[in-house]
Structure formats: C-alpha cells, structure tokens
C-alpha cells in the first residue's frame, strides 16, 4: 500500500487508530504537548485576536467561532476564559463549535467545557456552516496522511509499505502512484536519495476550512511548516516524518502501529494557494515566536496582573519562553487568512 494509506490506517482506523482508540494523545498523559497545553497564555493570545476581530465587525450579537481538531479542549477553555474576563459582551455573543469526529474525545471535551460555555459539536468540516467569523485549527494539517517520495537515479519514486515475516513492515520502492504528487516538486533541485512528503489532502482541507469563513472573517492555522523552498531543500535529506510516543520523538513509522503519533511538516505555499483560491487573503507569514512577541504588550501584562503569587507569575514567564523558543514551539508557522475588509489584527502589527 502507499504510505498515505498506511498512515491513514494507523492514525484514523475506527477503534484501532492512534486518534480513534479512546486514549489520551495530547497533554501530560498523552504522547506530546501542543501550545495550548503548555499554558493558558496561548489561548489568551487567540482570544485577544478574536476580541479585536469582533470589534472590527461592530460587535455582532452572534459571533461564530469554529475550532477544528480541538484535542483536549485546552485552547477553547483558555480562550473562552480570557474573553469572559476581558470582553464579557463578546463572551455572551460567542457561538463556539468544535469539529471532532471521535465520540470518546467529544465526550471528554464536553465534560471539560460545559462549566465554562455552551459548546456545539459537529463531526466533520462539511457540517459547518459557511458563516464562521473565526475558524481556528492548531496542529491539524501536520497530522494528515502523506505520500513519501524518494529521488533515485535522477527520478522520483514512491516509498510504499510492504510486510514480510522476516522484516515486518518496511519501505518498498515503487512507481509514483499519482502524477499530481510531483506538482509541488517541479521547481526544486533534489539530491540523490532525498526523501520528501507530499499531502494533496492538505490543500483540500484548507479549501474546506476557507469556505467556512463568513464574508468578513479570519482563518487561523498553527502548524509546523515551511515554504516549499525550505521544506524540500536538498539538505533535508530524510524529510520531516517524525513519531511521538510517551513524549519521546522517533523516526521509525513502523515501530508501534496505531500506538504512536505520526506527523510531518506542512507545505505553507500549498495552504496559501488553497486559501487564496477561496478568496481569502494571506496575512504576513510569521513564526509563533514572532506572533506572540508582537502580541506580548497586549497579552502578557494581563497574565502578570492576574497571578496571585510569585511562583504562578514565574510559571507564566517560563511558559512564555517555551512557547516562543525558536528551536521548539516558537518555530511553528502562524498562518492567517482574512476574508473581506479586515484591518490589521493583533500579532500582525508591532506591539
């Protein structure tokens, strides 16, 4: 089978796939940490953007927010708490919808959020109405299944998945399954033996997300990713495929099928092209470190003023450093796309 089929099965097979087995994946009890799990500061930052967007829209009585892939609910909880504290009128106006296909995860999410805000849930992006003022997704695109290609003897070949009683699951070189997989590679100069990952579904998912945005609104995506010239640079010989299990990174996708996370970096050019084709305009490209630093003047004082003791304050400061570390979470790409007349938003203008 193609690696795309393998990865889809390992992550999303009902009851057996990594994200469908009813066990924690994100957070201290899971296998990896995302930015919302580190500290409520991250959700407060997203909430600050939501507040300014709502104000620019003249404070509508209903402000529709959709979060795709809400995980444990950390982002929703911290975002809603921040808005309730800073902009109570907006808190009353928010209609918050999560897109979560897994029933186990949805039940845990509902238990966590029901004491804060009434949250609606749909199973798929296609069930969202096309009138969301804010659509947000954190580390969604990097979990979509990919094809793996390798440049061998001057031509691209596809790495498929084979199995034997001796070697177990392993790579098998074959012909490229779809000619369209080569389209994003047309302008790069690969090195012999170089491996890359290509994910056509990411463009389609970005298009679906973009179509959910209202006539005036914002699509906000956070993901590990690079522009095409960096993502497919010849020195990145082995691609970006990584695994996570018990908070330990690895590079063997066949080691623990269905019991470890599989992730690859996102082609930002692909996401931008899909959003623009749906009449959204890309905001300047930023890393999470840059975005949070530019938001700092608005968000960090609120964190400092809200703490009750020195230890809590120092914890917030350490979290800020973790979220902006350019060697870690700080290198996540912040991809913002606006529709309609939207003035500069917090994070994309100097603080």
The contacts of residue 55 (CB under 8 Å, 6+ apart) are none
Residue whose C-alpha is closest to residue 252's, from 236, 265, 266, 238: 238
Q: What is the pLDDT of residue 350?
A: 61
Are 335 and 302 members of one domain? yes
Question: Could you tell me the CATH number of the domain that includes residue 98?
Answer: 3.40.50.150
Does any domain span residue 85?
yes
Q: Looking at the structure, do residues 210 and 173 belong to the same domain, yes or no?
A: no
Q: Are residues 76 and 5 in the same domain?
A: no
What's the pLDDT tens digit per position in 248-290? Answer: 999 999 999 999 999 999 999 999 999 999 999 999 999 999 9
Residues 115, 254, single domain; the answer is no
Residue 105 and residue 254 in one domain: no
> In the prediction, which pLDDT does 298 show?
45
- CA–CA separation, 65 vs 275, rounded Å? 18
Classify residue 104: in a domain, yes or no: yes
Is 188 exposed, middle or buried (CB count within 10 Å of its CB: 0-12, 13-18, 19+)? middle
The reply to whether 59 falls in a domain is: yes
Dig out the tokens for 345 from the structure: 């938003």
Asked if residue 193 and residue 110 are part of one domain, the reply reads: no
What residues of the chain score a pLDDT lower than 50? 297-298, 301, 304
For 39, residues 6+ apart whose C-beta sits below 8 A from its C-beta are 315, 316, 319, 320, 322, 323
Examine the fold and report which residue of 216, 247, 264 is the final residue of a domain before the chain moves on: 264
Does residue 282 sit in helix, strand or coil?
A: strand
Last residue of a domain, one of 235, 264, 293: 264
* Strands 266-267 and 225-226, sheet pairing: parallel
Domain boundary residue, one of 264, 284, 316: 264
Give the residue numbers spanning the domain of 325.
33-144+202-224+265-339
What is the C-alpha separation between 315 and 285, in angstroms, rounded?
29
- Domain assignment present for residue 274? The answer is yes
- Provide the pLDDT for residue 31: 77
> Does one domain contain both 97 and 174?
no
Taken as a whole, the chain contains a residue count of 351
Strand runs (DSSP E) across 14-100, as ranges?
63-68, 94-99
Indicate whether 99 and 209 sit together in one domain. Answer: yes
Same domain, yes or no: 81 and 161: no
Q: CA-CA distance, 348 to 191, in Å (whole number)?
A: 36
Domain assignment present for 345: no
Say whether both 162 and 288 belong to one domain.
Answer: no
Same domain, 168 and 255: yes
The verdict on residue 103 lying in a domain is yes
In a domain, residue 26? The reply is no
Of 198, 204, 345, the closest CA to residue 286 belongs to 345
**DSSP 3-state of 104:** helix
User: Could you tell me the two tokens for 127?
Assistant: 């069930």
Q: Which helix (H) or strand (E) holds 149?
A: strand 147-152
Q: What is the pLDDT of residue 28?
A: 76
Domain match, 256 and 269 both: no
What's the total number of domains in the chain?
A: 2
| Residue 350, domain member (yes or no) | no
């Amino acid at each position: 089978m193609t690696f795309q089929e393998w990865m889809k099965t390992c992550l999303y097979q009902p009851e057996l796939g990594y994200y469908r087995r009813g066990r924690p994946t994100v957070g201290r009890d899971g296998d990896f940490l995302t930015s919302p799990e580190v500290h409520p500061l991250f959700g407060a930052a997203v909430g600050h953007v939501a507040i300014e967007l709502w104000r620019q829209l003249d404070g509508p009585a209903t402000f529709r927010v959709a979060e795709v892939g809400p995980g444990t609910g950390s982002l929703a909880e911290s975002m809603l708490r921040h808005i309730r504290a800073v902009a109570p009128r907006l808190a009353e106006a928010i209609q918050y919808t999560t897109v979560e296909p897994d029933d186990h995860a949805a039940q845990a999410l509902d238990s966590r959020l029901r004491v804060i805000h009434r949250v609606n849930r749909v199973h798929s992006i296609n069930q969202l109405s096309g009138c969301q003022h804010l659509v947000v997704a954190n580390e969604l695109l990097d979990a979509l299944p990919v094809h793996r290609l390798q440049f061998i003897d001057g031509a691209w070949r596809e790495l498929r998945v084979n199995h034997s009683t001796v070697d177990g699951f392993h790579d098998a070189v074959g012909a490229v399954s779809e000619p369209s997989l080569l389209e994003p590679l047309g302008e790069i100069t690969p090195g012999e033996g170089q491996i890359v990952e290509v994910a056509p579904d990411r463009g389609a998912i970005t298009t679906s997300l973009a179509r959910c945005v209202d006539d005036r609104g914002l699509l906000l995506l956070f993901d590990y990713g690079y522009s095409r010239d960096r993502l497919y640079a010849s020195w990145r010989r082995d691609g970006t495929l990584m695994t996570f299990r018990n908070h330990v990174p690895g590079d063997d996708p066949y080691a623990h099928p269905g019991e470890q996370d599989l992730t690859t970096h996102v082609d930002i050019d692909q996401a931008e092209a899909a959003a623009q084709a749906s009449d959204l305009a890309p905001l300047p490209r930023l890393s999470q470190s840059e975005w949070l630093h530019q938001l700092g003047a608005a968000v960090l004082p609120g964190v400092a003023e809200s703490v009750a003791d020195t230890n809590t304050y120092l914890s917030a400061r350490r979290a800020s450093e973790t979220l902006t570390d350019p060697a870690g979470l700080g290198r996540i790409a912040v991809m913002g796309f606006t529709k309609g007349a939207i003035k500069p938003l917090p994070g994309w203008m100097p603080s």
